[in-house]
Chain A
Amino acid sequence: MFELIGIPPQALFGQLLLGLINGSFYAILSLGLAVIFGLLNIINFAHGAQYMLGAFVAWMLLNYLGIGYWWALLIVPLVVGAFGIVLERLMIARLYHLDHLYGLLLTFGLALIIQGLLRNQYGISGLPYSIPPQLSGGQNLGFMFLPNYRGWVVVASLIVCVGTWFVIEKTRLGAYLRAATENPTLVGAFGINVPRMITLTYGFGVALAAFAGVLAAPVYSVNPNMGADLIIVVFAVVVIGGMGSILGSIVTGFSLGLIEGLTKVFYPEASSVVIFVIMAIVLLVKPAGLFGRAA
């Protein structure tokens, strides 16, 4: 086997795979944030809690109702997305005429409440969720061992990200969404129900987070803090990609996961800060983000 600058290939590819897994979650979560921010102009601080809620609802479905992983992948986004729709209708919708800051405060408060309730009920030690039997085991690729489930996470998140991008950029529905992001008043004056579109968009963004939560359940332990830990990095990803940019959030999510993985190989001490260093540089050089349009 070859060695790359003294790094054994197993370690290199292993970390790249880990980076790609993390990148998958960064991509789905920052995509949801971008979709929500674009239309609602709200920074959804509850996004991490909604991701965590996705993992928890999957765990509850399995342990209380005996509903397994594959059904959870379908049911959980619907349930948590519906919860998001109720939140939007009852609370967030009252804040659109106010400064962004109020939406941020509301969703941050909601995140703390959801996390607190689950911490109170289930503790912080984490609940196990096993890999579905169809995806246990792995492939020996010669240069590395690829666990099947991790491969599936990357493929599933790519499908969801590309699918969302396609709907937004290439379909009639997406054209409504883009137009309403630019000028909701005029879109309303054409006879389109913009408030309903806003509600459904929020529900969709939340459902994406919940989907990521189900994907994450077998990889990380199901823990009330799992979202809070991740969401800080995801916000950095969103800033780097450019607030509200769909393609930007996907590409940046995956790339930053990989960069983080590479940093773990070559300079592990920096791995937890590398994304924030990149964020600082991007903010200095291109404040609108790599894919963002200057306001």
Chain B
Amino acid sequence: MASLSGAEAAVATKTADAAGSAPLLSVRDLEAWYGESHVLHGVTFDVRAGEVVTLLGRNGAGKTTTLKSIMGILPKRKGSVTFEGREMMHLPARHVARAGIAFCPEERGIFASLDVEENLMLPPEVKPGGMSVEQIFELFPNLKERLSSQGTKLSGGEQQMLAIGRILRTGAKMLLLDEPTEGLAPVIIQQIGRTIARLKEEGFTIVLVEQNFRFASTVADRHYVVEQGKVVDMIQNGELDANIGKIEAYLGV
């Protein structure tokens, strides 16, 4: 444990260096519980405006829990999450959303009792300047043809597009995407990758949870490695090749 906390300190310093300017999202010593089970043991990382940052790690490392804790979905948590300089920890999820953070869950969360259009229009606008429905159709033309289908009748890829598309309408500029490529065909994964690149160009800031680091390396600026409920390392995307051995060890591939 002693060596781990040394590594954490190193990560924290590296994080602060990388930040330079004040980060848009800043997570400090975030701890969280599912009932009695202590899942996050002090997650610390920063995301600057306009960055695409991934949380890499094995199953059960605490990546999804980190996103849910930032969002305020998990009631039992402590530490600090600041967004645009504002402390979010005491806020319920709906106020975190209203502050301009949008969440796309791993299970996609498409509603079966809503058709595609209703699913798309469900999240309320929280800030001005969200994408128009036309722009979303430009990104995901499939959705336009299936507007009146039941949400869960879509293919897995289309459901993922719908799950991402609907949060682009809200005007939130910070997106938390939980494994958007999971279980999808390579051609769909490429489309999701192009979308993320396009969103970055448009000024969105994205935290991406991934297990697939090859995909992550095509879209991200930096990677945080999550292990046993902590951030244990940070790797610049440009240094990924040099660190390939280390990453494979972290991910157990």
Contacts and interface: CB of A to CB of B under 8 A. Distances in A.
Interface of A: 172, 175-176, 178-179, 181-183, 185-194
Contact of B113 (A181, A185, A191, A193): A181
A188 B113 CA distance: 17
B124 A178 contact: no
A190 B113 contact: no
A181 B122 CA distance: 13
A158 B148 CA distance: 27
B121 A172 contact: yes
A198 to B, nearest CB: 13
B112 A190 contact: no
Contacts of A189: 71-73, 93-94, 96-97, 103
Interface string B66-101: 000001110000000000000000001111111000
B97 A182 contact: no
Given A186-B109, A190-B97, A191-B98, A179 B92 contact: no
Contacts, number: 59
A192 B118 CA distance: 15
Given A185-B93, A186-B109, A191 B124 contact: yes
Interface in B2-54: none
A191 B95 CA distance: 6
Given A175-B114, A178-B114, A179-B114, 7 more contacts: A182-B112, A183-B109, A185-B73, A187-B122, A188-B97, A189-B72, A189-B73
A286 B253 CA distance: 48
A191 B73 CA distance: 12
Nearest to B105: A186
A191 B118 CA distance: 16
Given A181-B113, A182-B113, A175 B97 contact: no
B17 to A, nearest CB: 32
The 8 closest A-B pairs by CB, nearest first: A191-B97, A190-B123, A178-B113, A175-B118, A189-B93, A186-B109, A188-B93, A179-B111
Contact of A190 (B92, B114, B170): B170
A88 to B, nearest CB: 18
Contacts of A185: 73, 93
Given A175-B121, A179-B122, A188 B94 contact: yes
A145 B94 CA distance: 57
